[in-house]
Amino acid sequence: MKRTVLAEPRGFCAGVVRAIAMVERALELHGPPVYVRKEIVHNQHVVASLRRRGARFVDSESEVPEGSVCVFSAHGVSPLVRHNAAARELRVIDATCPLVSRVHQHAKRGARDGRVLLLIGHAAHEETEGTRGEAPDRTIVVETIEDLDRLTLPSDTPVTYLTQTTLSVDETAVLIDRIRQRFSDIVAPGADTICYASQNRQNGIKSLARQCELILVVGARNSSNSLRMVDVAREAGARAYLVPDVAQLDESWLRDVRSVGVSSGASVPEILVEQLVDRLAGLGYDDITTDVTSVERVDFAVPASLSGGAPADGGSHDD
Contact status, residue 114 vs residue 104, Cβ threshold 8 Å: no
Name the catalytic one among 127, 129, 134, 171: 127
> How do 287-292 and 3-8 pair as beta strands?
parallel
Query: Which neighbouring-strand residues pair with 72?
Result: 37, 94
Contact status, residue 18 vs residue 301, Cβ threshold 8 Å: yes
Q: Provide the terminal-to-terminal Cα distance of the chain, rounded to the nearest Å.
A: 51
Quote the strand ranges of the chain, DSSP E. 3-8, 34-37, 55-58, 69-72, 91-94, 116-120, 139-142, 159-163, 186-187, 214-218, 239-243, 259-264, 287-292, 317-318
**Which amino acid is located at 313 in the chain?**
D
Q: Is 127 a catalytic residue?
A: yes
- The single-letter DSSP state of residue 260 is E
Contact status, residue 71 vs residue 34, Cβ threshold 8 Å: yes
**Which amino acid is located at 202 in the chain?**
Q
Q: Which residues are catalytic?
A: 127
